[in-house]
Amino acid sequence: MNGLELLVLARALMKIGGAALPLPGGEDLPASVRSVLVDIAQHPDSSVSEITARTCFPQSHVSASIARLQDSGAVITTPDPKDRRRTLVRPNPAATSRLLVVTATPIDDALAAALADKSALPEVQAALKTLARHLIPRP
């Protein structure tokens, strides 16, 4: 596998993940806004510039994504007590129960729908579990 193939695979996996996530109110968030939300969940109390640096999205897109997520109740923002010019972003604790439902949703149906050969589902599930074990940082 080369770098381009890996990026194409990553995009396909993002689409499957997006299809598997039930969103509150039926709203469908673009993958880039979901990426900002994931970054905020992984790094609570980050500034907009820190999120911009980690996601590699333009600052204007990160700010617009945060505004959209804030309007939906997914995140909250507060002024940085150390530097009032900066805004800190964190997941909204009130949305925790919704987040638990979303993260507990299995990907099996979305994964099966993406596969041309449905009999490969167990093999692909096992491969994804192996990749997750090796590549996703765990506390």
Return d(Cα 76, Cα 87) in angstroms, integer.
Answer: 10
Q: Tell me the CA distances in angstroms from 106 to 20, 22, 38, 101, 102, one per residue in order.
A: 7, 10, 17, 10, 9
Judged by DSSP in three states, 21 sits in coil
Q: What is the pTM of this model?
A: 0.66
Mean pLDDT along residues 9-27: 75
Work out the average pLDDT over 58-78. 93
Q: What percent of the chain has pLDDT over 70?
A: 87
pLDDT of 115 above 70: yes
Amino acid 22: pLDDT:
62
**Beta carbons within 10 angstroms of residue 109's beta carbon:** 12
The more confidently predicted of residues 118 and 101 is 118
26-105 under CATH 3.30.460.80, yes or no: no
**Better-scored residue on pLDDT, 93 or 78:** 78
Answer whether 51's CB lies under 8 Å from 88's CB: no
Per the structure block, which two tokens stand in for 13? Answer: 């996996």
| Higher per-residue confidence, 31 vs 128 | 128
Asked if the model's pLDDT at residue 102 lies above 70, the reply is no
pLDDT at 48: 95
Q: How confident is the model at residue 11 (pLDDT cuts 50, 70, 90)?
A: confident
Per-residue pLDDT, averaged over 44-67, amounts to: 95
Supply 24's token pair: 């509150």
The predicted pLDDT at position 25 comes to 53
